[in-house]
Amino acid sequence: MKGRPDHPPLLCAGRRDNAQRLTALDEVSESLGLKLGQGLAEARAMFPQIDVVDEDEAADRALLEAIADWCDRYTPLVSLDGPNGLFLDITGCAHLFGGEEVMLKDILGRLFQIGFDVKGAISSSPALSWAACRFGEGGIIPQGVADEVLAPLPVEALRIDQGVAASLRKVGLKLIGDLLHMPRAPLARRFGMQLLLRLDQARGANEEAISPRRPVAALSAERKLAEPIATEDDILELTGQVANSLKSGLEARGAGGRLFELVLFRIDGRVFRIAAGASQPLRDPQRISKLFCERLTAVHDDLDAGYGFELLRLNVLQHEAFQNAQGNFTADNNGEVPLADFVDRVSARLGAGCLQVARLKHSHVPERAEVFIPAIATWSSEDRAEELLTFFPNADRPLRLFRHPEPVEAIAATVPDGPPQRFRWRRILHQVVRAEGPERISPEWWFDPENAQERDYFRLESDAGRRFWVFRRGHYLPGNAPTWHVHGIFA
């Protein structure tokens, strides 16, 4: 934290090991000799004028994630490093910003302008950069000088456990340079293999992968702006232009995008992410732009442009094979997919779950035989709109199926397998004049073993002309009568 000369020392304190300890210090506090992890009572005794603020781990985490989002402008491979650090894998990205030195200077300078005093390092391994930032001066570390950089640093710079570091100090091994030329077998036997692993990672002999916090986009295109934009019309116009630059990449893959993400970088560092899905693989820049037109309308109140956006990026998060089809000679190809376009735009405006379709499942139990899922998530390029949205009921199944069977009071004409003679449902007595059945359906015992009881279904017609789908659960046994339920109504 940065301190002000006219302000008393400012620090944060939180509970550690059943005691209030210092978790963050400003420059004034550090100049007074206070240390992280020091007891708050001891710090107050030394300097009564200090200003203490309770730590907020959730707020610190949210701030670090916001900074990580901001760093996405440099590389999509951004990973969190504890509560106060970030790892950026800039492999293949540095030349886009004028080289490593220019890139590092730009990152640190921009963060300083936003209000953060940070330190950064670029090297061939994450562990070496971590050590140079936390215990050194940072900067650019060339190849082949890892030992020279690590030698004067304390052993804590290897990211080892505190117990191992304390054991090393007890035997006089305080600096990493003391370990570089020692035999490895005695070190491993006395201090464990973790010490050698961390040492190899810092020297670059053992590779260490960075796990990005967000999935890496399959394709991405962006536009850096000389003048910031703030209006939705400008955003949509640029979105169409960027989508047009993605078209060649999608064509080269023989694919179309199913899930797009529009990333807007505001001048003050805040990042907005807006996702839009498509029911069919898309390449057409106009249709992609229409998706985000609906999304921007839906999130209008939540999109605060502030002083404007300086960078716009369009990511293809998911893509599928694109099926080329011959168009007609009387209209453009877009006229052949009006229903798909409608599904896309309505889902973008109102949410993916606003339009749902029924899909069959492999189950004999009626209430499990179909499931409703979002239309935009299930529509593949091989499906036709008529096949997806048209329902073909089975002739022996009711038109209306209740989500949960409703119990009825029934009197069977003959036992044990006869249909009901009359039954009372919803306080109304129905006299049965015709009946068909029974049809026995056995549930999946492996799915719900407690309720794996057979059902005997009957198709009944009452004297009023109404037709019901009724089933009996259980059997007529001495001292135990089955239960009857209405499961659906025929047309």
pLDDT in tens, the chain (491 residues): 554 556 788 899 999 888 899 998 888 888 888 988 899 999 999 999 999 999 999 999 999 999 999 999 999 999 999 888 999 999 988 998 999 999 999 999 999 998 888 999 999 999 999 999 999 999 999 998 999 999 999 999 999 998 999 999 999 999 999 999 899 999 999 999 999 999 999 998 888 888 899 988 989 999 999 999 999 999 999 999 999 999 999 999 999 999 999 999 999 889 999 999 888 888 989 989 999 998 888 887 788 888 899 999 999 999 888 877 665 555 555 544 577 888 888 888 888 888 888 777 777 788 877 788 888 876 554 444 444 444 444 557 888 889 889 999 998 877 778 899 999 999 999 999 999 988 888 887 777 766 678 899 999 999 999 999 999 988 877 777 889 999 999 97
Q: Is 416 exposed, middle or buried (0-12, 13-18, 19+ CB in 10 A)?
A: exposed
Question: Bridge-partner residues for 85, per DSSP?
Answer: none
Q: Kindly report whether the global pTM for this prediction surpasses the value 0.85.
A: no
- CA–CA separation, 108 vs 103, rounded Å? 9
146-164 burial, b at 16+ Cβ within 10 Å, e below that, comes to beebbeebebbbbbbeeeb
Closest CA to 318 of 371, 278, 362: 278
Cα–Cα distance list, 24 to 20, 27, 39, 85, 383 (Å): 12, 10, 12, 13, 57
- CA–CA separation, 261 vs 363, rounded Å? 37
Residue with tokens 């239309």, as numbered in its chain: 375
- CA–CA separation, 313 vs 200, rounded Å? 38
**How far is residue 473 CA from its own chain's centroid?**
44
Domain 219-347, CATH number (from 1.10.10.10, 3.30.2130.10, 3.30.1490.100, 3.40.50.700) = 3.30.1490.100
β-strands 420-425, 428-441: how paired?
A: antiparallel
In 3-state terms, the chain is what percent helix, strand and coil (to 5)? Answer: 35, 30, 35
- CA–CA separation, 484 vs 490, rounded Å? 18
Q: Residues of CATH 3.30.1490.100 domain(s) within the chain?
A: 219-347
92-103 burial, b at 16+ Cβ within 10 Å, e below that, comes to eebeebeebeeb
